[in-house]
Amino acid sequence: MTSKNPFLDADFRDFMDPAKLSERFKMTSFDPTAMTEMHRKNIEAIAEANRICFEGMQALGQRQAEIMRQSLEEAVAALKDMSAQPPAPEAQVQKQTALLKKQYEAALANMKELSEINAKSSNEAAETLTKRVSECLDEIAKTLADMGKAK
């Protein structure tokens, strides 16, 4: 029994079949292998970008751990130095001020270094994806040009 609704009567099993789509839209040079290859390259580029980001995050985490270890060692050494023989109050203030300045400058340098590590991996990942997008657009343009020649 057929209904009056063409969507209910249509056979959608072949709707996404590339060969039938090619026939339906007269795409004479449709190459499913080339399309599969293009998508394989896209997935490889995404995987590479993810690998770069992951390695960047590993390097960032390792460096943060090194900074934390170094900071704790310096703090312990500073406490030992200050408690060993308490100097006069004026000398103590000068010593603490110098230590604070040194720690502040080290913190700024560490933040800059961590930021550079993060920016480096982000830029490398973005370059990988940008390169693949450009290649993909070139492949699409070539395919469309080939299809135009085949008509």
Within-domain flag for 4: no
Q: What is the pLDDT of residues 82-114, one digit of tens each?
A: 787 777 888 888 888 998 999 999 999 999 999
Global pTM value: 0.68
Within-domain flag for 42: yes
Q: What is the pLDDT of residues 37-55, one digit of tens each?
A: 999 999 999 999 999 999 9
Within-domain flag for 5: no
The total of structural domains in the chain comes to 1
Within-domain flag for 36: yes
Do 72 and 64 contact (CB within 8 A), yes or no?
no
Within-domain flag for 17: no
Domain holding 115, by residue range, is 24-150
Within-domain flag for 8: no
